[in-house]
Amino acid sequence: MAKRVRRIGVMTSGGDSPGMNAAIRAVVRACAYYHTDCIGYYRGYQGMINGESIKLNARSVRNIVNQGGTILQSARSKAFLTEEGRARAAENLKKDEVDGMILIGGDGTFRGGQVFSKEHGISVIGVPGTIDNDIFGTNYAIGYDTALNTVVEAIDKIRDTASSHNRLFFVEVMGRDAGFIALNSGIGAGAEEILIPEENLGLERLLESLERSRRAGKTSSIVVVSEGDKIGKNVFELADYVKENLPNYDARVTVLGHIQRGGRPSCFDRVLASRLSVKAVELLLDGKKDLMVGMLNNEIESCSLDRALKGKHNINKELLKISEILST
């Protein structure tokens, strides 16, 4: 019979995302509900290595459901990539009598958790928290919805100035390997073109499309560019190329950058974080390990970390067609 889980650890790792606090709160409150101790580690794996922890009870997480960032802070830990680093983390967890860890983060965090569990036999459950939404096994990761709303609000503002001055704006949004933010915010904000890593539109087609828009009477345009788009070397080069080839356009660039990670989580992200995290605690209490929780078709499900890491969360190609139709 599996050993009874008496103490659960929780941490946030990798890039922070809005809703991580709601996730921490839900882990802590679910532990309290099920009469299980909860301990938080600061700065992800680095805090586990350094033994930087705090005992958490239901009252420790009051008034954080609405806050962006993470009260446990986040980090990328080079030391955890080494066997020695992971061994130090395992020693600290054993000293703290932690029976299982809940890891809130992205695919790197889950990869680390998988290695750690295999080497040291500590049960881990992953909760997907990343604005990029590039995790297989869940339709949505915590923070993605809030990031989309932030981007749409920013593009709405850019559109005001674009139309006042008849300008073409290239707006770079986050997403090095995945175009989820660009594609969905682009449709939501009514962008004329959306450039994503999954679909190489090509420079010629971009120029043709912009020319078509101009001839159709559009005096200003928004092009949403995912960080990882492969057309140009970067968004500035892309804008220069368009300026050279379409001198009628007054092209400008806005890089939205880190504002996309910040801000109060949307209601959707708070509810998602709450549902996923309660499930994560229940799985550990049930003796389960090496799983990731996710939301599929509005149901909370789980799959092995291995499957989550090997699978690919693809963009919905239908959205590309929608974008093309709507930019007519």
Residues annotated catalytic, as ranges? 132
Angle at 280 (CA atoms; ends 99, 70), nearest 5 degrees: 90
Q: How many residues touch ligand ATP (CB under 6 A)?
A: 18
Copy the structure tokens of residue 176. 């090095």
State which residue, 103 or 168, has the beta carbon closest to ligand ATP. Answer: 103
Q: What's the CA gap between 307 and 291, in Å, rounded?
A: 9
State which residue, 131 or 283, has the beta carbon closest to ligand ATP. Answer: 131
Confirm or deny that 77 is annotated as ligand binding: yes
Q: Which of 99, 107, 145, 172 binds ligand ATP (CB under 6 A)?
A: 107
Tell me if residue 289 falls in helix, strand or coil: coil
Rounded to a whole number of angstroms, the minimum distance from the CB of residue 77 to ligand ATP is 4
State which residue, 18 or 105, has the beta carbon closest to ligand ATP. Answer: 105
Backbone φ and ψ for 312, nearest 5 degrees, come out as -125, 125
| Position 12 contacts ligand ATP (CB under 6 A) | no
Distance separating the N- and C-terminal Cα atoms of the chain: 63
- Whether 156 and 189 have beta carbons less than 8 Å apart is answered as yes
Site string for ligand ATP, 64-103 (x = CB under 6 A): ------------xx--xx----------------------
| Position 109 contacts ligand ATP (CB under 6 A) | yes
Confirm or deny that 76 is annotated as ligand binding: yes
| Position 41 contacts ligand ATP (CB under 6 A) | no
Q: Which stretch binds ligand ATP (CB under 6 A): 109-117, 194-202, 218-226, 297-305?
A: 109-117
Residue 230, CA distances (Å) to 178, 184, 236 in order: 11, 18, 13
Neighbours of 149 (CB within 10 A): 19
Q: Which stretch binds ligand ATP (CB under 6 A): 54-62, 107-115, 200-208, 289-297?
A: 107-115
Copy the structure tokens of residue 286. 């049930």
Q: What's the CA gap between 97 and 107, in Å, rounded?
A: 26
| Position 14 contacts ligand ATP (CB under 6 A) | yes
The amino acid sitting at 72 is: L
Q: Which residues are annotated as a binding site for Mg(2+)?
A: 107
Q: Which residues of the shown chain bind ligand ATP in the complex (CB under 6 A)? A: 13-15, 45, 76-77, 80-81, 105-109, 111-112, 115, 130, 132
